[in-house]
Chain A
Amino acid sequence: MNPENYLFLSALLFTVGACGVLLRRNVIVLFMCVELMLNAANLALVTFSRMHGNLDGQIMAFFVMVVAAAEVVVGLAIIVMVFRSRHSASVDDASLMKL
């Protein structure tokens, strides 16, 4: 199987994620779309690693996963705080740049 197909899938997933970030209002969905974009990038990294016979891409993918995990922790905490104060999970309600 041609590894380039993985790259097409990766691009597709990234686009889906990006559209989700730009179009959806719900914070949780938005967050999941960010994860989708990250994982699309991971998929691309792993594919390149395979194509070039080099482990750098896989190492990079692990880094991204770690960072994504950390990001989820911080992000969810912020979302919870915003939800508590505004009783809403819409990003557009939190537009004052303050609590």
Chain B
Amino acid sequence: MSFPLLTATALAPAIGAVATAAVPAARRTVAKWLALGFSLVTLGFALAVLLRFDTGAGADRFQLTESHWWIRDFGMRYELGVDGVGVALIALTAVLIPFLIGAGWNDADPVEGEAPANRRWRPTQGFFALILLVEAMVIMSFAATDVFLFYVFFEAMLIPMYFLIGGFGDRAGSGDEEGQARQRTYAAVKFLLYNLVGGLVMLAAVIGLFVATADQLPEGTFSLRAILEARASGDLEFAQSTERWLFLGFFLAFAIKAPLWPLHTWLPNAMGESTAPVAVLITAVVDKVGTFAMLRFCLGLFPEASHWATPVVLTLALVSIVYGALLAIGQRDMKRLIAYASISHFGFIVLGIFAMTSQGQGGATLYMINHGIATAALMLVAGFLISRRGSRIIADYGGVQKTAPVLAGTFLIGGLATLSLPGTGPFVSEFLVLVGTFSRYQVAGIVASSGIVLAALYVLILYQRTMTGPVKAGLEKLPDLRVRELAVVAPLIALVVFLGVYPRPLTDIVNPAVEHTLSDVDRQDPAPQVPAEADSGHEAGAEHE
């Protein structure tokens, strides 16, 4: 038996969480370094996963698999395995966490004048332990190929997230200490309830799936791989209504997590009230589990129902794109603006997934990665800015460019990546999504293209109001980015540019996985109207054929 690499990747942050939590409160610096160390170990494992993953022709769909019985009586297995999408997202998670820890280095430190009772609820070591715990659960969700195992971690990550949102706010909201605590609690409870509702419906669907498989197979199973094989061989064929109900149960949970309009309102609250690193954790990491699961479980398990639901899902995605962008334009709070922008971007991701073309789904997967990195860059810089002034309100800023040019520059680059400027990663993914959508649904493609203009509006309005113009009173002495902050942001920016210029490593990993998913749902790319003559100019194209 080979070394269980995926288990190790998920276990490393889990052990790190326990170790960090065990550090006494007085030695918080130790806790920080310990957490950073463990997140780097995780990154090492994740890179090993990336290297071990075989992208060659004829490679297995799921690789690095592990399979053991977990609860035999109920057919639950401890079954792990990754396809290209899973590998890419595990890598994203592992890459982002060290930066988030670096960015949140002082976010959970004691504040002067803070009541000891409050302090007890936001221990420094707890903050970092919870982040690592979330990382472990997210990695497990990406790696699990047993539906029940996935469900357990999908739900369990709500617990640490709840404490991260409710316990560790950015203390830059409006109102007094008590009012802010109330808003934080509201946000955390809203987050929890929304996701629990989705989770419970999904639990019913998970059990339903087991029952439905038990009807037709020798014994019921939660194993994704077993179900895919049984379907491929014709042993398993869900009844139409069963499949649709199960699809809806799964989809609701993922649509809340993603989040898709109109189930989105928890996100602006959660992102607004939490510290910038936690906000990034929500939108860049945790929410990706939702879109990832749509691709893997909704499409993989229920292809017929996916076709059936496509018109509705596409409409919701389009509404999300336009609605999120318009609301972002109307926001007065910087972090809520970024949250609504994320809703718009999640619309693009869902659009790409359900367009069911290679470009759409490949683009959606790249979008998950690129959106994670770009939003992280933008949000973290916004967080640095907010921590300097103590306000999230856009109108409190102005002329920052004059006093803190490096901060403004990195903010602009993060913003330009968010608006999908060519040369940054998000452009590649957004264009792929749009092309993939357009080639099957022309109108949807055109409507979604309006997001290009709206994105420019909300990003540039934000930049104009905060960074340009005369320096606002109280900002004359605003310090520029510190070394720690620059060390956090600069690599993210470098990464976002690299993925825009040379996304090849990523597409090589993702393409085979997308082909498998498309064959699951039995769809092929629409052929061009005019068959192109054999163009010898594309060596890369020849490889694919």
Direct contact of A and B (CB under 8 A): no
